[in-house]
Amino acid sequence: MNFIFRHVKESLMARVRDYTNPYMGLIRCKFLKNKNITIISNNCWGGHCYRYFALPYDSPTIGLYIFPEDYIQLIKDLRKYMAMPLKFIKYTESKYSVNLKEKAQTNVPIGILGDVEIVFLHYKTEEEAIEKWNRRKSRIHWDNIFYKFAEMNGCTEKHLQDFDALPYNKFVFTSHKRPDLKSAVYYKGFEKEGQIENDTLVFNYGINLVKFFNTGSL
């Protein structure tokens, strides 16, 4: 019951935020000294940030998600993967086909960049996905990238450790307090599950986004 109440409350808050973002975002943006930012996120989180500050989508990772193993692989050599042409596969060909079936996501476009798979959750067609991917990819600010990860979709301890070791401006939402991880931001409410089910409704939980984007530190 507490989870249902929390979900309903956060969903309503998110709707109000989305409605006011075009107006309030312009005010929030004034506090950003660093406005030309690229957010490479494991899911839709980056899109919420851009709308919150009324900024353009200067990142291809909008409206999609990437499983932890592939996300870590992608960001270890982002330039290499961004140089690859985006192709598509059937969900039955995906190494995550079981997960996709469990999520009832068998009809969404599944893109691949080499050995990295991308689930274009909020896209209706492959044509729409590739058009927006390429357009937004061309706007990456290579000297000003911020990375966001989260303990979700089967994220393991190894994934957390691998992400924490990367020398980037970054942070990861974790389901428990993790003082041993320099980049950890505790996202309260998912301790029992051990996995964060949703980090986009309250996307700025536990983090000062203005400080993060202005300085790269938490």
The ranges assigned to domains in the chain are 1-59+141-218, 66-138
For the residues 183-200, what does the mean pLDDT come to?
Answer: 95
Q: Distances in Å between the alpha carbon of 44 and those of 27, 68, 93? A: 23, 14, 23
Name the residue among 203, 206, 170, 201 with its Cα closest to residue 186: 206
Nearest to 129 by CA among 112, 147, 148, 141: 112
Q: What is the pLDDT of residues 23-49, one digit of tens each?
A: 999 999 999 999 999 999 999 999 999
Write out pLDDT tens, residues 67-126. 999 999 999 999 999 999 999 999 999 999 999 999 999 999 999 999 999 999 999 999
Sequence-distant (6+) residues with CB within 8 A of 123 are 63, 64, 108, 109, 129, 132
pTM of this prediction exceeds 0.85: yes
From the CB of residue 210, how many other CB atoms can be counted at a distance below 10 Å? 16
Q: How far apart are CA 210 and CA 30, in angstroms?
A: 10
Nearest to 214 by CA among 26, 19, 9, 37: 37
Residue 110 has a pLDDT of 98
